[in-house]
Copies of this chain bind each other. A is one copy, B any other.
Amino acid sequence: MLYGAIEAGGTKFVCAVGDESLNIQKRASFPTTQPEETMKQVMDFFNQYKKELVAIGVGSFGPIDVHVDSTTYGYITSTPKLAWQNFDFVGTLKQAFDIPIAWTTDVNAAGYGEYAFGKGKGLSSVIYYTVGTGIGGGAIQEDRFIEGFSHPEMGHMLVTPHPEDHFGGNCPFHENCLEGMAAGPAIEQRAGKKGQDIPAEDPIWDMEAYYIAQCAYNTTLMFSPDVIIFGGGVMKQKHMVQKVHQTFSRLLNNYVKTPELENYIVTPYLEDDAGIFGCLALARQTKLDKK
């Protein structure tokens, strides 16, 4: 018996199969090109395990349709990647594999990975952000994703510009949203070089921490979660978490008593594997639900 996992990202797809304990048995990765090409590679990968495969969990770039009652459930919808617009992801999988398919956003899947195996394990309410080329967020409470008319788009929450920040933000939709002010490309445009080449003591990181701390602050006041996990490339700067803790404390000003910050605002235990393990865990969950 094997579970399948597809972490469908904007630049690459990671596919894996895991055993009953969700240990990964095989993993492969394919560039995100056209649906026909990429999905053929995905299908070829899983066809090797067709007899043992009992469910697949998918975490996809979006926006996606997560409404079970919708006629376009399981589709990628209005993505800027034109070839993938209105692509029937779940339907395509279902045609080849008549097994339960779990379907959610890439960031929800990564959050679920941490909820099942990482820093959110054993907790009730987990919020996960990825801060990289873009910023996305997902929320899980008691095994359910927070959603309503659609999945959240937390990366576009509004932030107040840092008084010394003269960068206007680069989100094409919003003047001062988190993604436009704090994702990797904003750092790069501000500094004229990539984040990985900026030293830890550069004041640009204090600005960055100010935006991430506002995100953590709003998340705290709106969800009162048990943990807030920040993944993604930007958070690989080891000094960032401490900077975020300091600014978060200053902003919150002891208004509510959160868990200890070292256990409350954290980076992911599974690091870059949060997404693929989350997809496996979702596959197992959907299999259990269908029993």
Contact = CB atoms under 8 A, between A and B. Distances in A.
Interface of A: 63, 123-125, 137, 139, 141-142, 144, 146-161, 173-174, 176, 214, 217-219, 221-226, 251, 253-259, 264
Q: Name the residue in A123, A155, A251 with the highest tally of chain B Cβ atoms < 10 Å from its Cβ.
A: A251
Given A146-B146, A155-B221, A157-B218, 11 more contacts: A123-B148, A124-B148, A139-B223, A141-B147, A151-B224, A152-B224, A153-B255, A158-B159, A174-B253, A174-B255, A218-B222
Copies in the complex: 2
A221 B125 contact: no
B225 A157 contact: no
Contacts of A151: 224
Contacts of A157: 218, 221-222
Given A124-B148, A144-B141, A160-B176, A153 B224 contact: yes
A41 to B, nearest CB: 31
Contact of A142 (B123, B144, B158, B221): B144
Contacts of A257: 149-150
Nearest to A147: B224
Q: Name the residue in A147, A148, A222, A264 with the highest tally of chain B Cβ atoms < 10 Å from its Cβ.
A: A148
A152 B217 CA distance: 12
B146 A221 contact: no
The 5 A-B residue pairs whose C-beta atoms are closest, nearest first, are A125-B148, A148-B225, A173-B255, A148-B226, A150-B224
A174 B151 CA distance: 30
Contacts of A255: 153, 156, 173-174
A222 B152 contact: yes
10 contacts: A125-B146, A125-B148, A149-B225, A149-B226, A149-B259, A153-B255, A156-B221, A158-B160, A160-B160, A160-B176
Contacts of A218: 157-158, 218, 222
Contacts of A141: 141, 144, 146-148
Nearest to A228: B148
A221 B219 CA distance: 11
Given A146-B146, A148-B226, A160-B160, A154 B221 contact: yes
A148 B223 contact: yes
A217 B149 CA distance: 14
Contacts of A149: 125, 224-226, 257-259, 264
A2 to B, nearest CB: 31
B221 A152 contact: yes
